Structure 1
Amino acid sequence: MRASLLQIDVNPHESVADRRVRVAELVRAQSGSDLVVLPELWPTGAFAYEEFEANAESAADGPTAEAMAAAARGAGVWLHAGSVVERAEDGTLYNTALVFGPDGGLRRTYRKIHRFGFDQGEAVMMGGGQEVATVRLPDAVAGLATCYDLRFPELFRRLTDEGAGLFVICAGWPARRREHWTLLTRARAVENQAYVLACCSTGTHGGVPQAGHSLVVDPWGEVRGEAGDGEQILTVDLDPAKIAKTREDFPVLRDRVL
Structure 2
Amino acid sequence: MRVSLIQLAVDAAESPDARRERAAGLVRAESGSDLVVLPEMWTTGAFACAGHLPDEAESPADGPTARLMSAAAREAGVWLHAGSIIEQAGADGLFNTSLVFDPSGRLVRTYRKIHLFGFDEGEAVLMSAGRDVVTAQLPETVIGLATCYDLRFPELFRALVDAGAETLVIPAGWPAARRAHWTLLARARAVEDQAYVLAVGTAGTNGGVEQAGHSIVVDPWGEVLAEAGPGEEILRADLDMARVSRTREEFPALRNRVLGR
TM-score band (shorter)? over 0.9
Match of 1:136 in 2: 137
The Cα of 1:91 is off from its aligned counterpart by 5.9
Partner-residue secondary structure (3-state), 1:191 = helix
**Separation in structure 1 between the aligned mates of residue 80 and residue 128 of structure 2, nearest angstrom:** 24
Q: Moved runs in structure 1, 4+ residues, more than 4 A?
A: none
Matched, 1:32 2:32: yes
Mapped contact 1:201–1:211 kept (Cα < 8 A): yes
**Separation in structure 2 between the aligned mates of residue 73 and residue 51 of structure 1, nearest angstrom:** 32
**Separation in structure 2 between the aligned mates of residue 182 and residue 140 of structure 1, nearest angstrom:** 23
Matched, 1:5 2:5: yes
Mapped contact 2:12–2:206 kept (Cα < 8 A): yes
The Cα of 1:50 is off from its aligned counterpart by 2.5
Per-residue CA shift, 1:22-55, capped at 9, x if unaligned? Answer: 0000000000000000000000000111342211
The Cα of 1:90 is off from its aligned counterpart by 2.1
The Cα of 1:3 is off from its aligned counterpart by 0.1
Per-residue CA shift, 1:6-33, capped at 9, x if unaligned? Answer: 0000011100000000000000000000
Matched, 1:15 2:15: yes
Per-residue CA shift, 1:140-173, capped at 9, x if unaligned? Answer: 1100000000000000000000000110000000
Partner-residue secondary structure (3-state), 2:139 = coil
Mapped contact 1:43–1:84 kept (Cα < 8 A): yes
Bigger drift between 50-59 and 179-188 goes to 50-59
**Separation in structure 2 between the aligned mates of residue 18 and residue 53 of structure 1, nearest angstrom:** 20
**Separation in structure 2 between the aligned mates of residue 91 and residue 153 of structure 1, nearest angstrom:** 27
Partner-residue secondary structure (3-state), 1:14 = coil
Given residue 3 of structure 2, which amino acid in structure 1 is its aligned partner? Answer: A
The Cα of 1:60 is off from its aligned counterpart by 1.0
Given residue 142 of structure 1, which amino acid in structure 2 is its aligned partner? Answer: I
**Separation in structure 2 between the aligned mates of residue 138 and residue 117 of structure 1, nearest angstrom:** 37
Partner-residue secondary structure (3-state), 1:90 = helix
Mapped contact 1:44–1:52 kept (Cα < 8 A): no
Given residue 38 of structure 1, which amino acid in structure 2 is its aligned partner? Answer: L
**Separation in structure 2 between the aligned mates of residue 132 and residue 40 of structure 1, nearest angstrom:** 17
Bigger drift between 99-108 and 46-55 goes to 46-55
Match of 2:183 in 1: 182
TM-score by length of 2: 0.98
Match of 1:233 in 2: 234
- Number of equivalent positions: 258
Per-residue CA shift, 1:87-121, capped at 9, x if unaligned? Answer: 01326110000000000000100000000001100
**Separation in structure 2 between the aligned mates of residue 50 and residue 225 of structure 1, nearest angstrom:** 35
Q: Percent identity?
A: 67
Partner-residue secondary structure (3-state), 2:146 = strand
Match of 2:85 in 1: 84
**Separation in structure 2 between the aligned mates of residue 167 and residue 55 of structure 1, nearest angstrom:** 27
TM-score by length of 1: 0.99
